[in-house]
Copies of this chain bind each other. A is one copy, B any other.
Amino acid sequence: MFESAELGHKIEKALYEREVPKLREALLNAQFDLAEKATFPVIILIGGVDGAGKGETVNLLNEWMDPRHIQVHATGEMSDEERERPAMWRFWRALPPKGKIGVFFGSWYTAPIVQRVLKHSDNATLNQHIEEINRLEKMLTDDGALVLKFWFHLSKVNQKKRLKTLEKDPDTRWRVTKLDWKRFELYDRFRKVSEHTLRETSTAEAPWIVVEGSDANYRSLTVGKILLDALRKRIDVPAKKARSKAAPLLASIDGLDVLDRLDMSQKLAKNKFESELEKYQGKLNLLTRDARFRKISVIAVFEGSDAGGKGGAIRRITGALDARHYRIVPVAAPTEEERAQPYLWRFWRQVPRVGRFTIFDRSWYGRVLVERVERFCSEADWMRAYNEINDFEEQLTAHGGVVVKFWLAITKEEQLRRFKAREKISFKRFKITPDDWRNREKWGDYERAVCDMVDRTSTSLAPWTLVEANDKNFARIKILKTLCERIEAAMDKVKSNK
């Protein structure tokens, strides 16, 4: 992995000075085109051996290009708002929008590698992080991002030399601390862990570029030229819309699907409903006041047919909660800032801190429902969304999130009845729009999309609950009961972990 970066690469000063002005102008022009077209973001990761010129290179990129359109993110201490969310949240919030360059100085690689070098984690944990990283980077590149990963390398001999040189010069002495020498002692271990990590994360879409760090001229020119080349290629030859390589999803050949299996005739009588409502609302209220609730967070997702009764069901939940403790996120069309980011970005920004109760009224599943059926996105986009969503929910769950997902199913006849009833109501909120009738014509397509969604995203960590919602009372109690059970189970785990 590091062989080519220990050859003693060098560029003479005269050549360097001849090359740089052309390179700078070309980089600035490329950056200008990037900003003007704003079709993709550039994500540059900087990692490597201490003293190999990481900081110098970042500063140089800012000097060579227009620093107003480069955002540098240094991974320092986490803030408490970051600690109380999944580990990747801090990186999601820092992603550059389309047209901009984001430089991550220290990135999602830093913690996994350092923890393993210091033996704070084992190999299995490192490999799990590697898998998470590969999925994240695949999502980014699938989404069109240009991801460039630079690793600055020094041989052991050269790192020692470098530290000594810095120490000798009174102007740079401050840069070498005891910690640097302590880390130097771990050189071999660091090299081993890094090599493993780099090998496992060097993919066709986002390969590592290992740069020998000892000669500043060589290092700078190499990075600059690779960046320019990558920028120009992507700007001048727009990426072709990926065609779906996935095998087509098979429709059930006997016409039987998960929705057919629901017993839609289930009902709950009014008096039974009222006693159950009181029981489960009381229970939910008690659960959220339990001290262990401060250790988890609830993410409740509501999807369902139009007029399926999402709003009413949500109100039966919030009726049991204190308004200070929950937040409802109604999902509408993405804003301009959201459209300049990967699809899941707008949901990442809503991820709650621990101890919070968040209800999504429609959700990230729009990608595989309405966007699929109405062809708002390509097949490749919604096909990869299943995996991206599973990853997302896994990260939420790993951080104490209880992800509870409800699909409110009604029959086509019941929907018609409700539409007609609504048309008679003067009350504005329930106006029926032409859109509602149009969606209804695509009933079959939606049903197919729902079944695929359930098949592909109902996981043991975040299972779907299909709710027979022809009878509103029955649906509301089933939802409340499920929610209580899931929260209770999660809190029991908190206890046993203590």
A residues near B (Cβ < 8 Å) are 25, 28-29, 32-33, 55, 58-59, 61-63, 66-69, 71-72, 74, 79-81, 103, 105, 174, 289, 311, 314-315, 318-319, 322-325, 327-328, 330, 335-337, 361, 427-429
> In the complex, what residues of B have CB within 8 A of residue A68's CB?
311, 314, 328, 330, 361
CB closest chain-B residue, reference A62? B323
Instruction: List the 6 shortest-distance A-B pairs measured between CB atoms, nearest first.
Output: A74-B324, A68-B330, A72-B323, A58-B323, A336-B336, A32-B428
Contact of A81 among B32, B81, B325, B336 (CB under 8 A): B81
For the complex with contacts A62-B323, A68-B330, 14 further pairs of A-B residues with Cβ separation under 8 Å are: A58-B323, A59-B323, A62-B318, A63-B315, A66-B429, A67-B318, A68-B328, A72-B323, A81-B81, A105-B324, A335-B335, A335-B337, A336-B337, A337-B337
Flag if B427 contacts A29 (CB, 8 Å): yes
A-B contact pairs, 5 of them (CB 8 A): A58-B323, A67-B315, A68-B330, A72-B327, A74-B325
CB closest chain-B residue, reference A289? B174
Query: What's the least CB distance linking A66 to chain B, in Å?
Result: 7
Contact of A80 among B29, B79, B174 (CB under 8 A): B79
> In the complex, what residues of B have CB within 8 A of residue A174's CB?
289
> In the complex, what residues of B have CB within 8 A of residue A69's CB?
330
> In the complex, what residues of B have CB within 8 A of residue A63's CB?
315, 318-319
CB closest chain-B residue, reference A29? B428
Q: In the complex, A32→B311 CA distance in Å?
A: 14
> In the complex, what residues of B have CB within 8 A of residue A79's CB?
79-81
> In the complex, what residues of B have CB within 8 A of residue A59's CB?
322-323
> In the complex, what residues of B have CB within 8 A of residue A105's CB?
323-324
> In the complex, what residues of B have CB within 8 A of residue A327's CB?
71-72
Q: In the complex, A85→B25 CA distance in Å?
A: 39
> In the complex, what residues of B have CB within 8 A of residue A427's CB?
25, 28-29
Q: In the complex, A74→B67 CA distance in Å?
A: 39
Flag if A28 contacts B319 (CB, 8 Å): no
Q: In the complex, A193→B427 CA distance in Å?
A: 45
Q: In the complex, A315→B66 CA distance in Å?
A: 8
CB closest chain-B residue, reference A60? B323
Q: In the complex, A487→B215 CA distance in Å?
A: 35
Query: What's the least CB distance linking A425 to chain B, in Å?
Result: 10
Flag if A429 contacts B28 (CB, 8 Å): yes
Flag if B324 contacts A72 (CB, 8 Å): yes
> In the complex, what residues of B have CB within 8 A of residue A336's CB?
335-337
